Chain A
Amino acid sequence: MTAVMERAAPEAARSARSFWTLRRRDQLTAYVFITPALLGAAAFVFLPLVLVVWYSLHEWNVLADTFDFVGADNYQRLLDDPNMPSVLRATAFFSVGLVVFNLALALLLAVLLNQKLRGTTFFRVLFFSPVVVSLLAWTIVWGFLLRDNGILSFGPNWLRSGSTALVSVVVVQVFKNVGLNMVLFLAALQGVPQELYEAARTDGAGPWTIFRRITLPLISPTILLTSIITVVGSLQVFAQISVLTQGGPGTSTTVLVYYLYQQAFQFHAFGYGATLSVLLFLIVLALTVLQWQMRKRWVFHEH
């Protein structure tokens, strides 16, 4: 009896030792190190996400202090909402317009400011400076400029006409952020090896061919990065709409985030607002996954 116990004890010790292999210890250490970050993400990212889904299944009246489970009612309302087509149209127009205009202008500025000329530093600073200006201050000043008796009052009534209001908001937003993409493109352009250009010129390639066949493919990772950032940013546009147009005229500038804000905070429909933010989350997720998949097709070093 005692002999058995004596033999069992060292065996247990040995199995414990074999469980705490070097590999397992390393893993444990790693997990301990990332725990604070994981807890932060859980508290500030995953928990709100779960709560939003939870709220979207409820009807929450803040004033009456009621919080009733309604199941999928809010999602049914989303499908039946007569405003949804115009909201999604405005959102898509805004995002596409912003991405195309922003990336094209940023690339153009980057190529121009990549020349070895005097004064390029001045212009780099000039075009980048709006990025560090407060978004609200920038937007409010533009609001004054675009008023009908403002400095830019030639031409149409920019913010009050259904056909120009959304375009105006896009332009204000592009000028605000184009500098950031410009700097990213500049860095990418300067990373393109000079010998490739020299080789191409030796082979008799013109400037356009060099740009299309060498520059563009080599900076494609940066194009992917900037387009993801810009698309995600464009879907979350709020302050500009709130300051410049409040979603009008009509509903021509009511993009998804602004509609969400109206429903939740102005009309006190927090449950439906949460449902709209679930929709926004899914759209951003889908677009990001799509762009990530597309990198295989057109980003050069990602095979």
Chain B
Amino acid sequence: MRKTASIAATLTLLGALTACGGGEAEADGPITLRMTTWSANPAHVELFNSIAAGYKQTHPDVTVSFEALPLENYTTTVTTQIAGGKAPDMAWILEGAAPDFVTSGALTPLDDTIENTADLATTATALWKQDGKLMAYPFSTSPFGVFVNTDLLKKAGQTLPTGAEWTWDNAVAVASATAAKTGKQGLVVRDFDYKEWTNLATVFRGWSAEAWTADGKTCGFDQQPMVDAMTFLHQATFTKKALPAPGVSADFFAGESAMTIAQISRASLLKEGGFGWALVPLPAGPAGDYSVIGQGGLGVLKKGKHAAAAQDFVKFFTSPANSEKLAQFFPPPRRSQLNAATLAKANPLLKPAQLQDVVIDGIENGVVKPSHTGSAEINQAVRSALDPLWKPGADVATVLKGVCTSISPLLAK
């Protein structure tokens, strides 16, 4: 008798389990949408959760969870999830991986989803379109600027060059002197760490150098502008000691360096009552003023379980009202919001002049960091071919020729 009861109980349990499994696929039951992001920053997460809570008021059946994945392996983790049949419903996409995602057909078009697409800046959407269709929404179009620790500069008796004096030569001189006098590091290209070379675009663009031509077919590393830019960078690192050497860690936001090149969304890492700081545009290079932007797209995956529901949430997430809130960290692609007044409301940390110089002008004239189809393999090839450069006395031109030898077959693919 006891045996029969336990079998019955087991069967009921199994039935309940399968019912749960089946119910999840139905559209009208309670569902959970999952969005993968690369930001575990508490301030960002709080904002996302508050937007999701707002959505739940009108859609009580829909819960949205945000899964923050480490940036280093972000794209790898997302593709592994897709391969394993556990695709997220929505995913942030890094600009480097944009061509792969946009051209592969993994995403659903969003033209009919996003409100007032005419308002989106064309420079912001260029990377995210396939055959005229918007495959992902560039929720963040974030220019790189230079954060400066003014306390450290003062301690070293240095002043921050302004106006026409704000050039790469002067920036390196100040960074070098501050590093020498304070024992801290000078200028950190954030997240580069001698691996993520695409972040060096924030430097070599000042020489008008490019990793490859706009059509993606011809390698640019062996061209004169790149040789000049990398020679400058090499000297700044190994002769003038203005940049941390390979294998040296330094976090600007922990007060360990005089300057850092980073996106403005990093402003949220500055602590109140911490050191004095300034935010200025990238220094002018020999080729004049320039600006580099990093982008993040938001896409709906076809293989997610609830693509339609996910599209509806993306519509809400990217609406003009929420876009204004997101502007606090992620400069929006909406032209109507790209003005100092709107951005100042969302960015109490930044002064209107900083917003105008770094953000608005930056987006208008900015060039997106290098991207290409098959970017993971190309980036890996560039990284390992560039490694011989990162030691004193390296032959810059020869190393850069080697980069082209190793990536040209990949660019041609």
- A residues within 8 Å of B by Cβ? 60-65, 146-149, 157-162, 246-251, 262, 265-268, 270
Judge whether B104 and A61 touch: CB under 8 Å.
yes
Judge whether A148 and B388 touch: CB under 8 Å.
no
Judge whether B76 and A160 touch: CB under 8 Å.
no
Cβ of B106 < 8 Å from any Cβ of A?
Answer: yes
Q: Which of B356-413 contact A (CB under 8 A)?
A: 374, 376-377, 380, 383-385, 387-388, 390-391
Cβ of B23 < 8 Å from any Cβ of A?
Answer: no
Cβ of B100 < 8 Å from any Cβ of A?
Answer: yes
Judge whether A63 and B100 touch: CB under 8 Å.
yes
CB of B252 to closest CB in A, whole Å: 15
| Minimal Cβ-Cβ distance residue in B for A147 | B247
Which of A62, A162, A251 interacts with B83 by CB under 8 Å? Answer: A62
CB of B242 to closest CB in A, whole Å: 16
- Kindly list chain B residues whose C-beta atoms are within 8 Å of the C-beta of A61: 104
Judge whether B388 and A250 touch: CB under 8 Å.
yes
Judge whether B104 and A148 touch: CB under 8 Å.
no
- Kindly list chain B residues whose C-beta atoms are within 8 Å of the C-beta of A147: 247-249
| Contact (A251, B101) CB under 8 Å given A62-B82, A157-B246, A265-B80 | no
| Contact (A268, B79) CB under 8 Å given A63-B101, A157-B246 | yes
| Minimal Cβ-Cβ distance residue in A for B195 | A246
Q: Which of B60-106 contact A (CB under 8 A)?
A: 75-76, 79-80, 82-83, 100-101, 104-106
Cβ of B128 < 8 Å from any Cβ of A?
Answer: no
CB of A166 to closest CB in B, whole Å: 14
| Contact (A62, B248) CB under 8 Å given A248-B195, A268-B376 | no
Which of B101, B106, B248 interacts with A148 by CB under 8 Å? Answer: B248
Judge whether A159 and B247 touch: CB under 8 Å.
yes
What is the total of A-B residue contacts with beta carbons within 8 Å?
75
Residue picked from B195, B247, B248, most chain A C-beta under 10 Å: B247
- Kindly list chain B residues whose C-beta atoms are within 8 Å of the C-beta of A62: 79, 82-83
| Contact (A265, B105) CB under 8 Å given A157-B247, A159-B247 | no
- Kindly list chain B residues whose C-beta atoms are within 8 Å of the C-beta of A248: 195, 383-384, 387
A250–B385 alpha-carbon span in the complex (Å): 6
Chain A to chain B: the 4 pairs with minimum beta-carbon distance, closest first: A148-B247, A63-B104, A249-B387, A160-B246
Residue picked from B80, B105, B383, B384, most chain A C-beta under 10 Å: B384
Judge whether B249 and A162 touch: CB under 8 Å.
no
- B residues within 8 Å of A by Cβ? 75-76, 79-80, 82-83, 100-101, 104-106, 194-195, 245-250, 302-303, 374, 376-377, 380, 383-385, 387-388, 390-391
Judge whether B376 and A266 touch: CB under 8 Å.
yes
- Kindly list chain B residues whose C-beta atoms are within 8 Å of the C-beta of A65: 105-106, 302-303
A160–B302 alpha-carbon span in the complex (Å): 41
Judge whether A162 and B387 touch: CB under 8 Å.
yes
Some 7 contacts from A to B, beta carbons below 8 A apart, are: A60-B83, A62-B83, A146-B247, A248-B383, A266-B76, A267-B377, A268-B79
- Kindly list chain A residues whose C-beta atoms are within 8 Å of the C-beta of B387: 162, 248-250
| Minimal Cβ-Cβ distance residue in B for A262 | B380
| Minimal Cβ-Cβ distance residue in B for A159 | B247
A147–B383 alpha-carbon span in the complex (Å): 19
CB of A159 to closest CB in B, whole Å: 6
| Minimal Cβ-Cβ distance residue in A for B83 | A62
Which of A64, A146, A246, A265 interacts with B104 by CB under 8 Å? Answer: A64
A266–B249 alpha-carbon span in the complex (Å): 25
- Kindly list chain A residues whose C-beta atoms are within 8 Å of the C-beta of B82: 62-63
CB of A106 to closest CB in B, whole Å: 30
Judge whether A63 and B106 touch: CB under 8 Å.
yes
CB of B98 to closest CB in A, whole Å: 12
- Kindly list chain A residues whose C-beta atoms are within 8 Å of the C-beta of B374: 267
Judge whether B247 and A160 touch: CB under 8 Å.
yes
| Minimal Cβ-Cβ distance residue in B for A144 | B249
Given contacts A146-B247, A268-B100, 6 further A-B pairs with CB under 8 A are A64-B106, A157-B245, A249-B387, A266-B377, A267-B374, A267-B376
- Kindly list chain B residues whose C-beta atoms are within 8 Å of the C-beta of A162: 387
A162–B388 alpha-carbon span in the complex (Å): 9
CB of A48 to closest CB in B, whole Å: 13
- Kindly list chain A residues whose C-beta atoms are within 8 Å of the C-beta of B248: 147-149
A105–B192 alpha-carbon span in the complex (Å): 38
Judge whether A160 and B194 touch: CB under 8 Å.
yes
| Minimal Cβ-Cβ distance residue in B for A247 | B384
- Kindly list chain B residues whose C-beta atoms are within 8 Å of the C-beta of A266: 75-76, 376-377, 380
- Kindly list chain B residues whose C-beta atoms are within 8 Å of the C-beta of A251: 384
- Kindly list chain B residues whose C-beta atoms are within 8 Å of the C-beta of A247: 380, 384
CB of A146 to closest CB in B, whole Å: 8
Judge whether B76 and A265 touch: CB under 8 Å.
yes
A148–B249 alpha-carbon span in the complex (Å): 8
A262–B248 alpha-carbon span in the complex (Å): 25
| Contact (A270, B83) CB under 8 Å given A63-B104, A65-B105, A265-B76 | yes
